[in-house]
Amino acid sequence: MLEQQFVNALSLGCVYALFALGFTLIFGVLGVINLAHGAVFMVGAYAALVVVANLGLPLWAALVAAMLVAGLLGAVIDRLVLKPLRRRNAPHLIPMIATIGVAIVLNNAAQAFFGAGNLRFPFGTVPEGVLTVAGLHVTVIELGIILLSFALMAVLMIVMRRTQFGRALRAIAESPKAAWLLGINVERLFLTTSFAAAALGGVAGVLIGLYANALYPLMGQPMLHKGIAVVILGGMGDIRGAMLGGLFLGFAEVLSVAYVGSTMRDAVAFGLLFLILLVRPQGLFGKVVQRKA
């Protein structure tokens, strides 16, 4: 019984990790708490649905579409909303409030277009079937989620650690002004990061849509709350923290549902969040140092 929960927890944790990665990237590089990340996640899911259900294309195309659509949305949000606020040197909680507005717009627009009810991916989108890996039963969906997530996380780690681009991002995370003085095109990298982070969110949306077999306009909201908890747990702006935190939350939730009861499920994330903030606000990997201008 416990072993079965392992696969369950791992796939859920992977999705949480992907979502949290996007969220923490935006905080780490742009310094903004993007409360529209949940809406972007939702848009990715619906984009994939449209591609599969209305355009009849296969799942891999839908995943690519989700990344592109969500990524573009993220880039647009950066250009239209976040950039003007940067230029104005707004105190850093103001952009957060602006992203709340964006989320409201997106969530309710989705509701207007798609209706408030649950939608599903058409039957046959993902092959049915259960595989046996290392003595555990794994559905195709779970396997897909785990493999894809780890692949994306590996790519992200390589980019951040081994490429010039990643180095530039880390420089900006330390101090945008210093990075700019070093000749780094900070604005372009903000745009790219917004795109990439949103794309990750979009993929997470599709994966959850498949895992839970349900899409609804407000699906981003509970995800956002958990994303916040994960990022605080792992340390805001820290990539390893987001990954480990996401996995940890997946396990914590699944185990608590199995052993305590399903009503406590949502409380787990927030209970942890509250505790961590009281005991070690910087999370597992975060630094207490405030970001310089």
Minimum Å distance from CB 11 to other proteins? 24
Residue 38 and residue 257 in contact, taking contact as beta carbons nearer than 8 Å? no
229 is a site residue for other proteins (CB under 8 A): yes
CB neighbour class for 89 (10 Å; exposed up to 12, middle 13-18, buried from 19) = exposed
For other proteins, the binding residue among 232, 242, 247, 249 (CB under 8 A) is 232
Whichever of 51 and 232 has its CB closer to other proteins, that residue is 232
Which SS3 state, helix, strand or coil, does residue 287 take?
coil
Segment lying near other proteins (by CB under 8 A), choices 124-132, 153-161, 184-192, 221-229: 221-229
x/- mask, other proteins, residues 62-101, rule CB under 8 A, reads -------------------x--xx--x-x-xxxxxxx-xx
User: What does DSSP assign to residue 262?
Assistant: G
Minimum Å distance from CB 84 to other proteins? 6
Residue 32 and residue 54 in contact, taking contact as beta carbons nearer than 8 Å? no
CA distance 80 to 281: 32
- The dihedral over CA atoms of 157, 37, 64, 269, expressed in degrees to the nearest 10, equals 70
Minimum Å distance from CB 95 to other proteins? 8
- Catalogue the long-range contacts made by 50-58 (C-beta closer than 8 Å, 24 or more residues apart): 52/121, 52/122, 52/125, 53/121, 53/122
Restricting to residues 256-285, name those near other proteins by CB under 8 A: 263-264, 266-267, 269-271, 273-274, 277-278, 281
108 is a site residue for other proteins (CB under 8 A): yes
Backbone angles phi, psi at 54, to 5 degrees: -95, -35
Whichever of 11 and 107 has its CB closer to other proteins, that residue is 107
Whichever of 144 and 220 has its CB closer to other proteins, that residue is 220
Residues that bind other proteins (CB under 8 A): 33, 81, 84-85, 88, 90, 92-98, 100-109, 111-112, 221, 225, 228-229, 232, 236, 263-264, 266-267, 269-271, 273-274, 277-278, 281
